[in-house]
Amino acid sequence: ARKAMKDYLLQQIDNRRATLAEHNLPPETTDPTVVGTLLPDDVITGILLAEVDGRKLGDDERLVMLNQLLVGGNETTTSLLTNLFWRLLEKPELYQQVRDDPSLDVIAIEESLRMDSPVLGLYRTNTEETVFDGVMIPERSKVMATFGAANRDPDIFEEPDTFRLDRDPDELRKHVAFGLGHHFCPGAQLSRLEAKIALRAVVERFPKLRLDGEPQRIEAFLLWGKRTLPVCWD
């Protein structure tokens, strides 16, 4: 599947290059007038034409960006939804509370993000030697920022291993499921909106939804979500 996706994306990039060549335009053009006229007005075209510090991206860089957007815009929100319904249906009284009180939708979503971060952590490479919490980390070391652990820090969250709908919103906003600072997820608000729409639609359409077996988690070790979530309803 990974190779098939890579081949598909490269073919899309090559198709756009061929279109430019047919119109006597160099593949490294940055002319914005080709967007929506000669080339589709989409993310692939944007990345093909993009420059960073006056330099065009290479195909390997383009593939990394496109794959990141694909995973970030699909896998993580899917995991958020499966994690959210799993927690609510584990304790049917929680599902009923959310069903009966739409004001709890946001709390339930943020609590799911805190307790079951769809991305458990990401690797970083430090640019200089540093000391963190008394530990010296040499320059160019691979370190992992573990969002899942940070979101269950007992110094920040009361009863961190318990899914609660009565948490203070100010406390919940301290979770780092979407990262922090320069690396904050640009799709965070879209993901929250999608989750809110889906949650309300499901609880109203299936007021007696319940679990019907053990869920199975996805296999990627850095991601946390459900590959299967068996449910039934009356």
Residue 9 is predicted with a pLDDT of 95
Q: Which two tokens stand for residue 29?
A: 């053009």
Q: Which residue has the higher pLDDT, 207 or 145?
A: 207
pTM: 0.79
pLDDT confidence of 68, banded at 50, 70, 90? confident
Instruction: Give me the residue spans of the domains in the chain.
Output: 2-69, 73-232
Reply yes or no on whether the pLDDT at 178 is more than 90.
yes
Residue 180 is predicted with a pLDDT of 87
Reply yes or no on whether the pLDDT at 89 is more than 80.
yes
* Mean pLDDT on 209-234: 94
Q: Which residues of 207-218 are buried (b: 16+ CB within 10 A; e: fewer)?
A: eebebeeebeeb
Half-sphere exposure of 138 (CA within 13 A, CB side): 2
Count of C-beta atoms within a 10 Å radius of residue 117:
27
* Mean pLDDT on 17-30: 90
pLDDT confidence of 6, banded at 50, 70, 90? very high
What is the CATH superfamily name and number for domain 73-232? Cytochrome P450 (1.10.630.10)
Contact in structure between 95 and 203 (CB atoms under 8 Å): yes
pLDDT confidence of 71, banded at 50, 70, 90? confident
**How far apart (Å, rounded) are the C-alpha atoms in residues 103 and 152?**
24
pLDDT confidence of 69, banded at 50, 70, 90? confident
